[in-house]
Amino acid sequence: MAYNQMTRNLLLTIARCPEISKCLEGNNNHPCRTIIGLQGSTSITDHQLPEPWSGEIDKAPILFISSNPSIGEDEIFPTGNWESEKIYDYFHHRFGGGKEEWIVNGTKSLRKDRSYGRATMFWAGVKSRAKELLERDPVPGVDYALTELVHCKSKQELGVSEALDHCVSLYLTKVLAASNAKVLVGLGNLAKDVLYSEFGLVGDKKLYGPLPILGTQRMVVLLPHPNARKARSFEKILSENELNLLRSFVNQ
């Protein structure tokens, strides 16, 4: 399967993050200690790996950025004993085009019993936002990809605040440099705060740009988390003129 070697190397670097071993070896002062310790792993072999991104990040015109991935205990998910090629296939082709159908319909993950679970609300919400922006049914993983500020998995964002600055400093710029996205969509307050800081955004707007970000002209949109109990669509958050501008930009 053809791939961009630099993108593949970055994906595997994040998935096999060396900070995991430091924490598992007993570094109690490490900022990632809490989030890595949540799984109760004794070695990286049985540890669910960090998620670098999901989808073809080097092609997708939309990149959704959220706080961190959640642990799904019954899903098939890479651990430290997986081979590198399988790890790459899982994340880069998670929504389709890989050696297995890891996710179907952009919303349902492959479980350990080889069935597919219920639709994940987060993935369904992201897919709806992509459809709204593109004004057509999107191809998950091709029209949009997903990444996080903290790549390790947890529940209810446990350990995220402690690990945030360290993980962002290690990987965010590299992930965005690998991304072909014209539109970066920050989901939730944590993403908003980090994108404000990283890109020097000012004011209380929801749409910024086009801005030169890592050599690419991009627009930045700030939306509530897909699971938030409030208005969270582009149509509700942006003005009609802003939404038309954003649609024109992503489709040009």
SS3 63: strand
> What are the backbone dihedrals phi and psi of residue 199, each rounded to the nearest 5 degrees, phi first?
-105, 5
Structure confidence at residue 156 as a pLDDT band (50, 70, 90): confident
Over residues 220-234, mean pLDDT: 91
233 CB-contact burial (10 Å; exposed 0-12 / middle 13-18 / buried 19+) = middle
The rounded distance, in Å, linking the Cα atoms of 236 and 250 is 19
pLDDT of residue 195: 96
Q: Give one word for 213, left, alpha or beta, with left for phi > 0 and alpha for psi -120 to 50.
A: beta
Name the packing angle between helices 160-167 and 189-199 (round to 10°): 20
Query: Which residues 6+ apart lie within 8 Å of 164 measured at CB?
Result: 149, 150, 190, 194
pTM of the model: 0.95
Average pLDDT over residues 97-120: 95
Please name each of the domains of the chain with its CATH number.
5-251 (3.40.470)
The stretch 163-173 carries a mean pLDDT of: 97
Q: For residue 1, name the pLDDT band (cuts at 50, 70, 90).
A: very low
Q: Amino acid letter at 62?
A: I
Dist. CA 75–CA 50, nearest whole Å? 15
Q: Which residues of 130-155 are buried (b: 16+ CB within 10 A; e: fewer)?
A: beebbeeebbbbbbbbbbbbbbbbbe
Rounded mean pLDDT, 19-27: 90
- Arithmetic mean of pLDDT over the chain: 94
Contact 192, 224 (CB under 8 A): no
Q: At 111, is the secondary structure helix, strand, or coil?
A: strand
